[in-house]
Amino acid sequence: DSGVTQTPKHLITATGQRVTLRCSPRSGDLSVYWYQQSLDQGLQFLIQYYNGEERAKGNILERFSAQQFPDLHSELNLSSLELGDSALYFCASSVEFQVPIYFGEGSWLTVV
């Protein structure tokens, strides 16, 4: 158990819908990262927050947004979902920058 908690573990939804994925980082970790793993793209970095502020942005679509709340949990919002958004979404956390990061178990999203 990495200490990073993600909910829900599985989600099936229809095209055009909106979903929210939630992440609770390890106790004491200030940095939260979101990654997407799809069959054809591998593990892609989406976005990073540090103590509530956005710190780095990767290949995140405009239809996706995220935030980190004062209690340090984070949410990833995916809207106008398309079939190609089906993937395993990981949250990870670390104490600060450039130290080991630990991944949650992921949220499996299936868009039908």
Partner 1 sequence: GIQVEQSPPDLILQEGANSTLRCNFSDSVNNLQWFHQNPWGQLINLFYIPSGTKQNGRLSATTVATERYSLLYISSSQTTDSGVYFCAVARNSGNTPLVFGKGTRLSVIA
43 is a site residue for partner 1 (CB under 8 A): yes
108 is a site residue for partner 1 (CB under 8 A): yes
User: Which pairing describes strands 10-13 and 107-111: parallel, antiparallel, or unpaired?
Assistant: parallel
99 is a site residue for partner 1 (CB under 8 A): yes
Segment 54-83, which members bind partner 1 (CB under 8 A)?
55-56, 58
- Give the integer Cα–Cα distance in Å for 47 and 64: 10
39 is a site residue for partner 1 (CB under 8 A): no
Q: Among residues 21, 107, 9, 25, which one has the least CA distance to residue 73?
A: 25
Among 11, 61, 65, 105, binds partner 1 (CB under 8 A): 105
101 is a site residue for partner 1 (CB under 8 A): yes
* Residue 85 φ then ψ, to 5°: -85, -5
Q: Where are the alpha helices (DSSP H) in 17-57?
A: none
Give the binding site for partner 1 (CB under 8 A): 2, 33, 42-43, 45, 48, 50, 55-56, 58, 88, 90, 97-103, 105-106, 108
